[in-house]
Structure 1
Amino acid sequence: MKYKLGAYWGKCKVGLNPQKTMIIYSILFLLLSNAVTLRREKSIIYSRDAIIILLFSCLIALKSLNMYFLYKGIGLYGGLFHVTPITQTFHIFIFFVSAIILQLTAFYPRKVWIKNYASLYNLFFKNFIYDTNIVNKMGQQYRIIEYPLIILFIIIGGTFLVSASDIVSIFLSIELQSYGLYLLSTLYRNSELSTSAGLTYFLLGGLSSCFILLGTSLLYANSGTTSLDGYYVITGLSSLANEYTNNILDWYKPLYLNISLLIMSVGFLFKISAAPFHFWSPDVYDAIPTIVTTFVAIIAKISILIFLLEIIHYTSNFYFAFSFSWTTGLLFSSFLSLIIGSVLGLSQFRIKRLFAYSTISHLGFILLALSINSLESIQAFLFYLMQYSISNLNAFVLLISIGFSLYPFVNNGPLRYQYNNLLDRNNSPIQLISQLKGYFNLNPVLALSLAITFFSFVGIPPLIGFFAKQMVLSAALDSGYVFLTLTAILTSVISAVYYLGVIKQMFFNEHQYKLNQDLEHTKFKANVVSSVNDEGYVDTLSFKFNNIVLSSCLTITISILTLTLLLFIFTPEESISMANILALILFNP
């Protein structure tokens, strides 16, 4: 067995994944508080509570990470789950990314900034009261109290899936994660598009679950065990038996396991929308609200890909150079994802559909590194997955911020009627690529941040995306995958066309926005109440529309993520070294 169970069980049973235990207890606490509260506008408070829960879980996981590095791996709950340095590291990563996404519903997107009232004293000891429409306080995302609760359920399912070590726990974990994602997609009850997309996601997700259930059933029928450790042992022994023409396991052939795993992998490729099972993702990503798309497009993929990592590593056939292996299907999916994600993205005019095909293209690189299963390719896989998740998160946060920043403008171009009649404008203000025309003239900082993110997607040096692609292509060449390497290079060039097309429209086209005349000549009123004055002194002030800016949570998040992509070349050691160490631990248990 690859995990040390007996000698360390007594030392570790007190702290078995305490971060998951904390999340479960926190969900129960939030559900109970929701049942007894008299007010329903608690969503923003719950989102902030969820952020605190996730950040505290990160600290707990970091504190226990040294123990898992020491023991290389610990089995939990009778072998249903396991914890290794890789699973624990990505638990922390999932918690951290989820906390960033929850900021979108934990803080209002806009604020009033007046220089005379910008001191720290006024920030902490004075309350500003003004029109709620200015900060979008009545947005639907701030009135859905179930949103942070469902996200916590999804995170529990995802972290359990990362640590799953039995086909029973695999299926239960993926279904817990998937059901939460279905509910999250249909959570905006007044959005017809969201409801339709959620039903599509549910139906096709149910189909993919059937493939997973069929694959796991065949695994049990052919081997008589539900433990992944058993499959690893059977694969190794049967490979040795066939290699040396011995009759040790003549009754069992590796082909049985390969076919069963291939069927199961089809279900997981459905879940992550890799080609040729990608057809649902552009429609679903485009129809559901952008805030929900941010979570669905990132977190669901991380957990499944990390789960696939150990299965691929321990069931690869090291003894047969020309025999069939189920990872060949992943290579084929990688090839199709590279082509489909790049070519079909050229014809898109809706921004979230473009992001969906971009994700499919990048999944081609991720699956290529995953299928090769060498030390160098696993290093590239871990690094690529982390950097692309951060880049994708930054792209969606920027898209949401751009939508909130355009509130004082109205479109005056020939397509103004089309823009004004877009469905679900309140939940997804930016839907068409043409809405970004000339945005650099309106907000140069956000436009530059989005351009840097797109350049990282393309793989232009010295941004972080270049180093990730270079690591994957180098690993593929070293392993002899010359054709797939050439395909990846060509498709990267093709995908650069639609990224650069968006950048061209932002920087070199004239914008067609004009300031709303109603706002231009309006003076807004606000009351400033001192929280330390017993008499409740109220000061009245007036301000104009240009005093309304994006909130600090959005601007700080965008700044940190963009600088991470841009300045990676100056501090590359930490992230690359972490990927190297995790890969070395996997190959030297």
Structure 2
Amino acid sequence: MLPIILLSILGLLVLFLGFQKSKTLLLPATLLVLVVVLITNFLNWNDVPSLYFKGMLYENKLTMAFSGIVILSAFLIVALTRGFVDDESAQPAEYYALMLFSLVGAIMMIGFENLIMLFVGVEILSVSMYVLTGSDKRNLRSNEAALKYFLMGAFATGIMLFGMALLYGATGSFNVTAIKSYVLTNATPSIILYAGLLMLLIGMLFKVSAAPFHFWTPDVYDGAPTIFTAFMSTIVKTAGFAAIYRLLAGSFSGIYTFWWATLAGITILTLLAGNVTAVYQKSFKRMMAYSSISHAGYLLLSVTALTSHSQSAIVFYSLAYSLATISAFGVLMIVAKETGVHSNEKSESFEAFNGLGKKNPLLAFVLTVSMLSLAGIPLTAGFWGKFFIFSSAVDRGLTWILVIAVLMSTVGIYYYFRAIIAAYMREGELAAIKISPFYRLVLIVTTVITLVCGLLPDFLKGLV
């Protein structure tokens, strides 16, 4: 896996660039690293599936697609970190290095063939995110968020590791293929296998903010610096669902009748908790946190269905969700900076967008497209993402869950449109907002891709 090697080596080089007096090279160097890694990720696209590192990592078109999404998301998010260079208290070299190292963990989670490699990937990604969450050392909210994330994440990791130990005790192997062989050849698998699978799922569902393991999400997303909240809500979620899908489809499809009901219940609970609670939020950032929980529910619906269409549906939805989320947080960062305060209730509330349509039509349009995509409105990528997710549920016959998912989608329209209404239908105190050409380019790219995927969904869907 060339991307893992490049990210590890080049991440260290970026870290050493921090010793220079000038910080100007850090952002271009990090972006260049991500471009190189993104290109190398697809070098073997037409080759047969391969195993690496003593058979512990697996690579095929699916893993490359998921890896491409997380690397592209990281590139777009890093491109919005121009403010690090001007902030005297920031440590951009450390931030960029940690973001690159976290991608190593994400790619390991996506392509694991051995449960040990899954655990290593989860830990690399999680430890990096713990540090980045608390990177604003002068902000009590950031410190509190980092502590909550670390303590609850440590417990979840312990449960996940214990589940892996039970699976090893039942099957005698950590290998995904060997576990699948055990499941298929044993008509009545050991009770230890069932317990191990449930504990492993608990740990993984915590990482993707699925209910009832979601309680950390609002406080952590709200307290972390906005740029790292965007990173957390896209890269971590995409890698987490890629790992869950790989785990269930690769090893435990043979005992689908055992785990599907549990996952279906968690899916319903996640959809209800995320959408209903988001309605009552006054903070845009907290609303996006509960929105992240609700989108975990939609992705879980496709994982629960586990049909032939689930694979492409999860990939498409992950890309659509990541692009819209990056756009939304990008606009929030620019508006918050314009208010003069980066992390307070006023700059992060819906009222912060009042009058945005008049002061900066481009930002208002980007915000509108991102909200429409997250709500699943036609002509955006989010519409087709939900359509493919719902289609996989229909294929499995999960119509009763589908009804709940559709109802929750209508609830989502309400709280997403609050930002659009604020931007176009309310008067605000914002002065004329000027954004740098670089920021403008990033937001235009995310918006254009969102619209293109909404107009030509079959092109991307047919690649995987």
Q: CA deviation at 1:266?
A: 0.4
> For residue 382 of structure 1, what is the aligned residue in structure 2?
315
- Say whether the 8 Å CA contact 1:452–1:562 is kept in structure 2: yes
Cα distance in 1 for partners of 2:378, 2:46 equals 34
Higher helix share: 2
Q: CA deviation at 1:405?
A: 4.2
> For residue 525 of structure 1, what is the aligned residue in structure 2?
none
Q: CA deviation at 1:268?
A: 0.9
Q: Secondary structure at the match of 1:573?
A: helix
> For residue 105 of structure 2, what is the aligned residue in structure 1?
157
The question of 1:86 aligning with 2:62 is answered yes
Q: How does 1:262-301 map to 2 (within 5 A)?
A: 262-301=198-237
CA-to-aligned-CA distance 1:368-403 (integer Å, 9 cap, x gap) = 001111112322222111211111111111211222
Q: How does 1:222-237 map to 2 (within 5 A)?
A: 222-237=170-185
Cα distance in 1 for partners of 2:244, 2:266 equals 14
> For residue 366 of structure 2, what is the aligned residue in structure 1?
449
Cα distance in 2 for partners of 1:267, 1:391 equals 27
- Say whether the 8 Å CA contact 1:400–1:430 is kept in structure 2: no
- List alignment gaps of at least 5 residues for structure 1: 1-16, 110-135, 243-251, 408-421, 516-545, 583-589
Please tell me the residue identity of whatever aligns with 1:189: K
Q: How does 1:6-21 map to 2 (within 5 A)?
A: 17-21=1-5
Q: CA deviation at 1:404?
A: 3.3
> For residue 187 of structure 1, what is the aligned residue in structure 2?
135
Which one has the largest radius of gyration?
A: 1
Higher strand share: 1
Name the TM-score, length of structure 1 as normaliser: 0.75
> For residue 260 of structure 1, what is the aligned residue in structure 2?
196
CA-to-aligned-CA distance 1:273-326 (integer Å, 9 cap, x gap) = 1111111100111111111111111111111111111211133445x78x4x22
Q: CA deviation at 1:108?
A: 4.9
The question of 1:53 aligning with 2:33 is answered yes
Cα distance change, pair 290–219 in 1 and its aligned pair in 2 (3 A): same
Residue among 161, 186, 191 paired with 1:213:
161
Q: Secondary structure at the match of 1:63?
A: coil
Q: CA RMSD in A?
A: 2.2
Cα distance change, pair 347–236 in 1 and its aligned pair in 2 (3 A): same
The question of 1:486 aligning with 2:403 is answered yes
> For residue 427 of structure 2, what is the aligned residue in structure 1?
510
- Say whether the 8 Å CA contact 2:65–2:315 is kept in structure 1: no
Name the TM-score, length of structure 2 as normaliser: 0.94
- Say whether the 8 Å CA contact 2:176–2:251 is kept in structure 1: no
> For residue 566 of structure 1, what is the aligned residue in structure 2?
451
- Say whether the 8 Å CA contact 1:312–1:371 is kept in structure 2: no
Q: How many residues align?
A: 464
Cα distance in 2 for partners of 1:108, 1:176 equals 26
Q: CA deviation at 1:486?
A: 0.4
Cα distance change, pair 75–433 in 1 and its aligned pair in 2 (3 A): same
Cα distance change, pair 500–288 in 1 and its aligned pair in 2 (3 A): same
Please tell me the residue identity of whatever aligns with 2:234: I
> For residue 64 of structure 1, what is the aligned residue in structure 2?
44
Q: How does 1:334-413 map to 2 (within 5 A)?
A: 334-406=267-339
- Say whether the 8 Å CA contact 1:463–1:568 is kept in structure 2: yes
Q: CA deviation at 1:502?
A: 2.3
Cα distance in 2 for partners of 1:478, 1:296 equals 32
Cα distance in 1 for partners of 2:175, 2:216 equals 32
- Say whether the 8 Å CA contact 1:312–1:327 is kept in structure 2: no
Q: Secondary structure at the match of 1:145?
A: helix
Cα distance in 1 for partners of 2:315, 2:279 equals 28
Cα distance in 2 for partners of 1:293, 1:160 equals 21
Q: Secondary structure at the match of 2:123?
A: helix
CA-to-aligned-CA distance 1:532-582 (integer Å, 9 cap, x gap) = xxxxxxxxxxxxxx7x8311111111112112223434433321212xxx3
Cα distance change, pair 380–256 in 1 and its aligned pair in 2 (3 A): same
- Say whether the 8 Å CA contact 1:394–1:558 is kept in structure 2: yes
Cα distance in 1 for partners of 2:87, 2:128 equals 25
Q: CA deviation at 1:458?
A: 1.2
Q: CA deviation at 1:38?
A: 5.4
Q: CA deviation at 1:349?
A: 0.3
Residue among 311, 314, 330 paired with 2:250:
314
Cα distance in 2 for partners of 1:274, 1:21 equals 31
